[in-house]
Amino acid sequence: MSASSDFATGTAASAAVAVADEGAKAGGGRGQTRPPSRTSRSRGRGIGWRGRFEVALLTGPALIIFISFVILPVVLAAWFGFYRWKGYGMPSDFIGLDNYRWILEDKKFLAALSHNGFVLGVSLATQGVVALGMALLLNRKIRFRSVIRVLIFAPYVISEAIVGTGWRLLMQPNGAFSNIMDALGLDGLAHTWWLGDKAIAPWTMMMIVTWKYVGFYIILFLAGMQGIPEELYEAAAIDGCSYWRMQLKITLPLLSPTIKIWGFLTIIGSMQFFDLVYIMWGPTAEHTGVSTVATYIRYEGSEANAYGYGSAAAVILFIITFTLAILYQKFIMNRGVENPVAPRRGR
């Protein structure tokens, strides 16, 4: 046999051995069992004591803080709500659900809750539209774009105490705002009682709220637009789509997760709204139609030395806000959006 025949025979034998080995590894050979991998053995045993220690070390501090400053106060507030308690000493005058019943029957509380609903409705109807329109404008290449972004975002970083005090001075009957209206010849607006008229004060409040918080939502929408692939707009432009059609068919669908986050933050913020009302209107908020549940808790609870009553009102506010958050999470946040970049599968 020649050298070439020997080489061919050796190659064929090696190939046969390799095929046999692959078959044995795949379970094809009889009497041979594939040994379990290290990964499967670790999965069967679960994480060891070292892994449990790492999980406890990393999550323990956050869990302790969350329980101490979120869960425990809610539980204590619910417990205090069953007592007539003035805020000092241990509560002993147990009255059951009377505090909760009195709150739900109080017209002041129902009016304050309706004002929270007003803030929520107007915020959802106006702030989102204004923020989205400004974000679309600032997302284009225009002059002084960076400066405009900074100026729009500036009110959000200013303290609520400064904002409330400043606007309260500006909106006085003889304040700077009235003087500006008078200089422009708008006598009807110059002598308007912006903060004291029950028909105008809620809209004055919403104007200030929009000025204060819309900058944050503009930056939020801009951040969402940065994640949209530029190739989609280029392909749409080649197909002859107009600018507004691209925003309708590309920007809005892909911005849907960001819009959902905006809606969630708006709901939570509207239900917890307190600081600007407390600073600008104080005790007169009830008489000018701008009181909220948070200001109701302040004046009917701590200011009246009825801490049990105030705790019960806080629990009711927590339940309402938590329910709205859960419903929004279930019916809005969990609704997915189709990814136009991914190829569609045939049926």
| 285 belongs to a structural domain | yes
CA distances 189 to 104, 196, 197, 231, Å, are 38, 14, 13, 50
Rounded average pLDDT over 122-134: 93
Amino acid at residue number 56: A
Please report, for the chain, how many H helices and E strands are present, in that order.
19, 0
Q: pLDDT tier at 34 (50, 70, 90 boundaries)?
A: low
CA distances 4 to 1, 12, 284, Å, are 8, 12, 106
- 116 vs 56, more confident: 116
| 166 belongs to a structural domain | yes
| 35 belongs to a structural domain | no
Structural domain including 155 reads: 99-333
| 105 belongs to a structural domain | yes
Q: What is the CA radius of gyration of the chain?
A: 32
Q: Indicate the pTM of the whole model.
A: 0.77
pLDDT (tens digit per residue) in 50-103: 888 888 899 999 999 999 998 999 999 999 999 998 888 888 899 999 999 999
| 31 belongs to a structural domain | no
pLDDT (tens digit per residue) in 289-320: 999 999 999 999 888 889 999 999 999 999 99
What's the CATH code of the domain at 205? 1.10.3720.10
| 64 belongs to a structural domain | no
| 144 belongs to a structural domain | yes
| 274 belongs to a structural domain | yes
CA distances 92 to 74, 79, 80, 88, 152, Å, are 19, 11, 10, 11, 52
* Domain count along the chain: 1
pLDDT (tens digit per residue) in 10-23: 444 444 444 344 44
Q: Does 338 have pLDDT greater than 60?
A: no
Cα atoms in the Cβ-side hemisphere of radius 13 Å centred on 158: 21
CA-to-CA distance for 240 and 249, rounded, in angstroms?
13
The first and second tokens of residue 37, run together, are 């991998």
